Structure 1
Amino acid sequence: MKYYEKEHFDAYARIRAEGLDQWNDLHDEDSAQGYDRFAARDFLERQLPEQGGGRTVFEYGCGTGGAACFMASRGYSVHAMDLVPDAIHIARDRSADRGLDVLFEVGDICRGAGPRQPVDYVVDCFCLQSIVADQDRATVLDGVHRSLKQDGLYVLATAMFEPGRDYGADRYDPETGIVWTHSSRGTEGARQLGQTWFAPVRRHLSPTSLRLELRQHGLDVIAQTGEFGGEVVCRKLG
């Protein structure tokens, strides 16, 4: 198991055990207002046509499936994937309760998992910031490029660098955008800073750095909005 996986397995086990709706419900300051008010809903409402008309979507890092169910309810054909079986279990139950036909699948996009055929949209609702290692991010973004139809769009909502943010006991590296958190010496990717061992836990890029990274993987930003530039729409290059 990679170092970043344990946090997600533990989180979704707790969400399932406590009957919560989604990841944000684990944090009082971010707690959502029910299953249908998932993070990035307003962004998706602005960026996706109101009627899907059978257009195809692949969402990775779908969590408990709020966004996938929302898109399916609008007529999109949705294939949604998450690393964690507990998350997919909840997503399948919630979609069945709503009478929605969504293909939910357990899979790891950092190991190359993805849709079987190119799609009209690839959607990410706050997953990318948790993919920290350069090689993992390259695998994911190359996969996004490969998964899109030639006229397809990548619709991305991600946490970004926020000037003045207090990281508390964590460390932020402005050159890489990596957030380092306390860890044991044997954790994958850990390094010693002073007398303490830290592991990379998040990637918070500046708007310019994110655009450059996306372009390196054949994704051209056509819109970048949000308070810190974390609401992004890309088209496929080449």
Structure 2
Amino acid sequence: MRYYYAEHQAAYQRLEREGLTQWNDLFDEDRTDDFEAFPNRPFLERVLPDLPPSADVLEYGCGTGAAACFLAARGFHVDAIDLIPEAITLARRFARERGVQVDFSVQDVCAMPPGTKQYDVVLDSYCLQSIVTDADRSSLFTAVRDRLKPTGRYILSTAVYDPDRVYEEDFRYDAGTGICYQKTSTPAPDAVHLDNTWHLPHRRHLHPEALRAELADNGLQVTFQSGGDVVARLGYQAR
């Protein structure tokens, strides 16, 4: 089991068990109890006027589908994927309840085969920070490039480095890589040995400038950035 699976499966199981609708509702400081008040909605509303009418959109890491439903309700054709079956079950239910059509499926963006369909928009609604290792992020960006039309846009919202963020005792932040590791009791797959203790990759919180450089290195040219909110296009070839 990959490092990013167990936490997310447990989270969506809890959402279903407690009757919640989205990831942020698991945290008291972020909870809204409002499916429509998803975190990157203001950013999407800002960039919507620049998108082609009836654009084809792929959202990966869609969770319970709030952003996907939001776009579908506004006339976009949306395919949405998540690696957690429980998330997709909830997303399909919420879409039915709202009378919107989204093609949801269970897929891991880090393990997607070459695609045959290309999109006007590939969307990330706070998934990227949970894709931690260099190899996995490279696979993700390959999937993005492969699925963007030549004129397409990669719309990304991700958590970035925050000097006020506090990492609790079982977490270790590596300022050089932006990787936050979580202590684990067993040498599980993907675990690394730090200070005689096993740790799993947990999050990656890059400085905004480092995120921009990473995207450029992976063939994606940033046309707009405000912190972790980014719009990018296919750019020069990755090194």
Mark yes or no: TM-score above 0.5.
yes
Residue identity opposite 1:220 in structure 2: Q
Residue in 1 aligned with 2:151? Answer: 151
Partner residue in 2 for 1:175: 176
Alignment of 1:20-35 (within 5 A): 20-35=20-35
Counterpart AA for 2:235: L
Specify every segment of 5 or more residues in structure 1 that has no aligned partner in the other structure, as ranges.
Answer: none
In 1, Cα distance between equivalents of 2:224 and 2:175: 24
Identify the residue that residue 230 of structure 2 maps to in structure 1. 232
Instruction: Give, in whole Å, the separation in 2 of the partners of 1:114 and 1:100.
Output: 28
Mapped partners of 1:114, 1:174: distance in 2: 33
User: Displacement, 1:180?
Assistant: 0.9
Following the alignment from structure 1 to structure 2, what is the Cα–Cα distance between the partners of residues 177 and 121?
27
Q: Which stretch has the larger CA shift, 10-19 or 113-122?
A: 113-122
Q: Which moved further from structure 2: 139-148 or 61-70?
A: 139-148
Question: Aligned in 2, Cα 1:157/1:184: closer, same or farther, shift over 3 Å?
Answer: same
Distance between the aligned counterparts of 1:190 and 1:178, measured in 2? 13
Q: Check whether the contact 1:32–1:39 (CA below 8 A) recurs between aligned residues.
A: no
> Residue 205 of structure 1 corresponds to which residue in structure 2?
206
Q: Which runs of 5+ in 2 are unaligned?
A: none
1:8 & 1:61 partners in 2: Cα distance? 10
Q: Distance in 1 between matches of 2:160 and 2:51?
A: 30
Partner SS for 1:202: strand
- How many residue pairs end up in the alignment? 235
Residue correspondence of structure 1 range 127-166 to structure 2 within 5 A = 127-166=127-166
Query: Following the alignment from structure 1 to structure 2, what is the Cα–Cα distance between the partners of residues 29 and 114?
Result: 39
Q: Which amino acid aligns with 2:105?
A: E
- Over 3 Å counting, the alpha-carbon distance change for 1:33 and 1:18 in structure 2 is closer
Give aligned-pair identity as a percent. Answer: 47
> What TM-score, normalized by structure 1, do the two folds share?
0.94
Relative to the length of structure 2, the TM-score reads 0.93
What letter is aligned with 1:216? D
Q: Contact 2:115–2:146 (CA<8 Å) still a contact in 1?
A: no
Q: Report the secondary structure of 2:137's partner residue.
A: helix
- Cα separation, 2, equivalents of 1:12 and 1:128: 18
Cα deviation for residue 112 of structure 1 reads 1.5
Give the residue type in structure 2 aligned to 1:66.
A
Once residues 155 and 33 of structure 1 are traced to their aligned partners in structure 2, the CA distance between those partners, rounded to angstroms, is 25
Q: How does 1:79-118 map to 2 (within 5 A)?
A: 79-112=79-112, 116-118=116-118
1:18: how far off?
Answer: 1.4
Structure 1 counterpart of 2:218: 217
CA distance in 1, matches of 2:191, 2:92: 35
SS of residue in 2 equivalent to 1:75: coil
**Residues in 1 aligned to 2:221 and 2:130: alpha-carbon distance in whole angstroms:** 22
CA distance 1:73–1:136, change in 2 (3 Å): same
